[in-house]
Amino acid sequence: MTDLRFRGAASPPRRVHDPLPRRVDALVARLRPEEPVHCLRPAAVEGAARAFLAAFPGETLYAVKCNPEPAVLRALWRGGVRHFDCASIGEVRLVRSMFEDVAIHFMHPVKPRSAIREAWQRHGVRDFVLDSAEELAKVLEETGRAGELGLVVRLALPKGGAVYDLSGKFGASPAEAAALLRAARPHAAQLGVSFHVGSQCLEPAAYARAVALAAGVIRDAGVRVDLLDVGGGYPVAYPDVVPPPLGAFTAAIAAAVAEHGLSGLALWAEPGRALVAGGTSVVVQVQHRRGDTLFVNDGVYGALSDAGAPGFRFPARLLRASDATLAPFAFFGPTCDSADHMKGPFLLPADAREGDWIEVGQLGAYGAALRTAFNGFDRAAIVEVADAPLLETPGYGIAAAA
């Protein structure tokens, strides 16, 4: 049995001490919910963390932005994660409030001075990412140029083929990065280079190319570099996507590191989606049917943001028995905005109708994190369940508890 919690998009969850079934079907039959229900699978998150840590030949830094739910963070800790990639002082505070002894790395290349100062003085953060001389100066000034600093220069990459390209906002050019390494070296107890190939990257060779570029920057800098951070982007399965196995990515990284003479460097990775995507589903209710479109009570301003303009497809199932053949459906969310549209297709029994409940999976990555309070549709329940994920990614160790 488990408990139900309610939360607004911008407020902490409220726990209701009412023991509930730990299986989604039984839970929905009991509650008959009229608000979205986020179904957390801590065992899946824990299993994915163990698999990633076993496969990656270095330190694993979980990207907190992907899913900051405390139950998820606890599952990652149980899975062995002891390093957290934070992008804001809010994330730093959250992680430190939960775990006294883990390492927190401030990986946003542009930070407020107050955030740098608080992270350094109050939360024991020692590692900071930067991609400009101005940011280096801020970090040095706000930390008093202390000798314990870890400074990591973010390298810009050319536009790649990842689903979410991250090349346009952050990162120094190779020449700028080399100059920053030279400028940072006298102040750094640990000096590093980082990059990010983009989110949901399906090409292992993209990491090898990025390692080669980083190796060239390190050679050009002409100073000792201590670590290489190969970022995130490791993909998971969706209904129309079967990614290469995790081992293909870690093998490509390891081979490139060896080829370019970087084997003596510490190696970091910043996975998010790969650890938590299968760890949450969302149960929505159908409020209206219009042809092959279902109006449901969650949408792009809620947990289904990636099903909107980015066009991600998600596994879905109807939570009642039906002998009808499967048919493709689109969704409209609950807001008055016509852009609250998810084209899918979501494959469901053709007799789906008003009042039905649908479970949508693979929403542990960015689903809850991107929710808003637009139009007042800001409440959702959250509950921990023992079901397997609706879709598993082979080789990522995602499994449900017995």
- DSSP-derived letter for residue 199 is B
Which two structure tokens, joined as six digits, stand for 300? 């792009």
**pLDDT value, residue 12:** 53
> Is residue 114 within a helix (H) or strand (E), and if so which, with residue range?
helix 113-122
Closest CA to 318 of 346, 280, 290: 346
Is there a contact between 152 and 170 (Cβ–Cβ < 8 Å)?
no
Q: 220: which residues sit within 8 A by CB, 6+ positions away?
A: 174, 175, 178
Q: Could you say which residues of the chain have pLDDT below 70? A: 1-2, 5-18, 160-162, 164-167, 395-402
What is the three-class DSSP state of 194?
strand
Task: In whole angstroms, give the CA distance from residue 276 to residue 236.
Answer: 10
> Is residue 19 within a helix (H) or strand (E), and if so which, with residue range?
strand 14-20
Interval 67-89: pLDDT, tens: 999 999 999 999 999 999 999 99
**pLDDT value, residue 32:** 96
**pLDDT value, residue 240:** 87
Interval 181-239: pLDDT, tens: 999 999 999 999 999 998 899 999 999 999 999 999 999 999 999 999 999 999 999 99
Task: In whole angstroms, give the CA distance from residue 196 to residue 189.
Answer: 23
* Main-chain phi, psi angles of 225, to 5 degrees: -115, 140
Task: In whole angstroms, give the CA distance from residue 345 to residue 342.
Answer: 8
Q: 223: which residues sit within 8 A by CB, 6+ positions away?
A: 181, 182, 185, 191
Which two structure tokens, joined as six digits, stand for 261? 């003479």
Scored b (16 or more CB within 10 A) or e, 140-163 reads bebbeeeeebbbbbbbbbeebebb
* Dihedral of the alpha carbons of 17, 19, 21, 25, in degrees to the nearest 10: -40
* Main-chain phi, psi angles of 15, to 5 degrees: -85, 135
Which two structure tokens, joined as six digits, stand for 183? 């400028």
CA atoms within 13 A on the CB side of 29: 9
* Main-chain phi, psi angles of 147, to 5 degrees: -80, -5
Give the chain's domains with CATH numbers: 2-41+280-384 (2.40.37.10), 57-270 (3.20.20.10)
- The alpha-helical segments, DSSP class H, found in 167-231 are 174-184, 204-221
What is the three-class DSSP state of 348?
strand
**pLDDT value, residue 402:** 31
Q: 343: which residues sit within 8 A by CB, 6+ positions away?
A: 311, 330
Q: At what angle do helices 204-221 and 246-259 cross, to 10 degrees?
A: 30
Start-to-end CA distance of the chain, whole Å, equals: 13
* Main-chain phi, psi angles of 258, to 5 degrees: -65, -45
Cis check: omega of the bond before 345, within 30 degrees of 0:
yes
